[in-house]
Amino acid sequence: MTDTSDPDGESAGPDAGDADGDTKAGSGEPVVDAAEVEHVAELARVRLAEEETETFADQFAEILEYFEALDEVPDLDREEELVNVMRADEVEAGLAQEEALANAAETEDGFFKGPKVS
């Protein structure tokens, strides 16, 4: 565990590098590197093969580039933000157990059933 977590623990290095990359977005340097993709995949509990990591790094960079289009959007007058939107503390009818479980891939005794987690 220490072996695999050490690079992450020391991530001040690579992370700082990423942060630089982010600020220089559009300047041609890689916005998302393989380490970042692996980190996100791990948080999402998705296992990626090495070549997938490279593919996703490229794709992430492309996707992020699309957002640059937002820089072109002119300033607009916008609606004032809402505040204090609340509901009264009154019980509303919800879903019956069968309805709640209707889309579940697997169930057991009224529970959603999933793989083991730790």
> Closest separation between CB of residue 55 and another protein, Å?
22
Does 43 help bind another protein (rule: CB under 8 A)?
Answer: yes
Q: What own/partner pairs with CB < 8 Å and gap ≥ 24 does 54-60 have?
A: 57/30, 57/32, 57/33, 60/31, 60/32, 60/36
Binders of another protein among 8-27, rule CB under 8 A? 8
Tell which residue, 38, 39, 36, 42, has the closest CA to residue 61: 36
Of 45, 47, 69, 73, which one interacts with another protein (CB under 8 A)?
45
Q: Which residues sit at the interface with another protein, rule CB under 8 A?
A: 1, 5, 8, 39, 42-45, 81-92, 94-97, 100-101, 108-118
